[in-house]
Amino acid sequence: MTGKILIVDDVSTNRIVLKVKLASAYYQTIQAESGEAALRVAREERPDLILLDMNLPDIDGAEVCERLRRDPATRGIPVVIVSAARDVAMRLRALGAGAVDVVWKPFSDALLLARLRNVLRAREAEKELERRNLTYREFGLEEAPQGFRPQSVVAIVAPSPQEALNWKRELAAELGDRIVIADPEQALTWQAGNGAPDVVVVGADLDEPGEGLRLMSELRSRPATRFSAICVVHRPGEADTAAVALDLGASDVIEAGADPREVALRVSALIRRKHLADVLRASVEDGLRLAVTDPLTGLHNRRYAMPHLAQMAARAHAEGRQIAVMLLDLDRFKQVNDTFGHAAGDAVLVEVAARLRQNLRPADLLARFGGEEFLVALPDTTLADASRAAERLRHVVEARPVRLVSGTNVRVTLSVGLAIGAAAGGKADEVTALLDRADRALLAAKAEGRNQVTVSRSAA
């Protein structure tokens, strides 16, 4: 995962040490030495995340957070505060001001990097919603902001019944949400739309060490709880357990015995993030269904794809990154229609669309571009990664035939044209040029035998 991180610390040695650690994980870094400088650089550079020292010479980290949140240009940037003072009151103030976490010095490198990966993943989901709203605005259909947060369900899975009761009592004193207690077996029987929780607070160690992490993996694999936020409670000092939990899919981690007010702040933040993610998924499934969705495959259509691709290109250009654009065309599709009929051709298109969707990320753009042609755009990617993704998509279509209602199996293959770049400012002519390169590469793939990926020579 790449990302631009702003390091804020008045001690140059601390900035250098953090820069080296982050560079080894392939993050781009920028620096500031004071709170005021951080606010200015954040507005100018729009980093993906801010790593902020609490004690600065002019204003402290909590005030920097508050001012970032008041500024529409920076309110969405996540902030992780670093502090040498293990002050609970300060930690609560920072979390209340909007920091996503407070890390004590000295910190575990593994846990810090896991935390950064976790925060950046969550932020990417938020930015995707923002990009979709910008695209919807092109049609006058921007989603209205939600004015209230409905009561949520928080489930507790603790190592013992007594601990579960303690956790529930402490959270109930701070939250107005519904709190329920469950054991691991009950947690695996939750049904979607019938009491499935918004947040699960689970102990890392239940009846056995690590059992809570195994339960989390199971919950992530089940439809009812796949999108629930999960907070793992681990024993004090077990940084490795916390890092593993985050990389396995935990939404947050917290030490056992933490102040109940901190736990409540973290759970409230998870609820907000979960509801935001729900909005994102709803916008994919329901938004603009008639205006910008292909009625056969359920994918976005060309009318949606072009302005959204322009938004992706503009972002790539502003951040000095690249996007990959693919045009995918079904080989000899006319023969399918001529041999089996148009209903069979429609069934093939629906199945191919489903396979493509299942093998792309939520942030990727997938659209039916016309006829048997599909468009895929991957943000923030490299040529090597884009080529692997294109080969994966080609393979999942070729790997097994499409079974028709009649019982007939139809073998289908794809030709793919790939181009990579960053259209300057997302201008229409630059986006068109990027698409033209992908189209020429697609024609070359067809001419060279079909069922292959061809990369635009300009991108190679």
Looking at the domain 153-285, which fold is it?
Rossmann fold (3.40.50)
Q: Which of 372, 373, 391, 448 is catalytic?
A: 372
**30's tokens:** 């920028």
Please indicate whether the domains covering 153-285 and 289-455 agree at the CATH topology level.
no
- The C-alpha atoms of residue 156 and residue 129 are separated, in whole angstroms, by 29
In CATH, what number does 289-455 get?
Answer: 3.30.70.270
Please state whether beta strands 402-403 and 409-410 pair in parallel, antiparallel, or not at all (unpaired). antiparallel
CA distance 459 to 380: 15
- The answer to whether residue 124 is catalytic is no
Distance CA 395, CA 417 (A): 15
Q: Which residues pair with 330 in a beta bridge?
A: 414
The residues spanned by each domain of the chain are 4-107, 153-285, 289-455
Reported as a single tens digit per residue, the pLDDT across 329-380 is 999 999 999 999 999 999 999 999 999 999 998 889 999 999 999 999 999 8
Strands 373-379 and 365-370, bridge-based pairing: antiparallel
Average of per-residue pLDDT values in the chain: 89
b (16+ CB within 10 A) / e for 15-42: beebbebbeeeebbbbbbbbbebbbebb
Structure tokens at 57: 């010479």
Residue 424 pLDDT exceeds 70: no
Does 425 score more than 60 pLDDT? no
Dist CA 393 CA 402 (whole Å): 15
The predicted pLDDT at position 355 comes to: 96
Q: Which two tokens stand for residue 400?
A: 């097994």
The DSSP bridge pattern shows strands 101-104 and 365-370 to be unpaired
Alpha-carbon span 246 to 193, nearest angstrom = 26
The backbone torsions φ and ψ at residue 330, rounded to the nearest 5 degrees and listed phi first, read -70, 130
Cβ-based burial of 326 (10 A; exposed 0-12, middle 13-18, buried ≥19):
buried
Structure tokens at 277: 């993610």
Give kind and range of the element (H or E) at residue 269: helix 260-285
Is residue 203 scored above 70 in pLDDT? Answer: yes
More confident residue, 138 or 329: 329
Query: Hey, what CATH topology would domain 4-107 get?
Result: Rossmann fold (3.40.50)
How confident is the model over 306-319, as a mean pLDDT?
A: 88
Close Cβ partners of 416 (under 8 Å, ≥ 6 residues apart): 326, 327, 328, 329, 390, 393, 394, 441, 442, 445, 452, 453, 454
Structure tokens at 84: 């040498």
Provide the whole-model pTM.
Answer: 0.61
In this predicted structure, the answer to whether residue 287 has a pLDDT above a threshold of 70 is: no
Calpha distance 151→157 (Å, rounded): 20
Tens of pLDDT, residues 73-125 = 999 899 999 998 888 899 999 999 999 999 988 888 899 999 999 898 888 87
Mean pLDDT of 33-52: 95
Q: Which residue has the tokens 């409905």?
A: 150
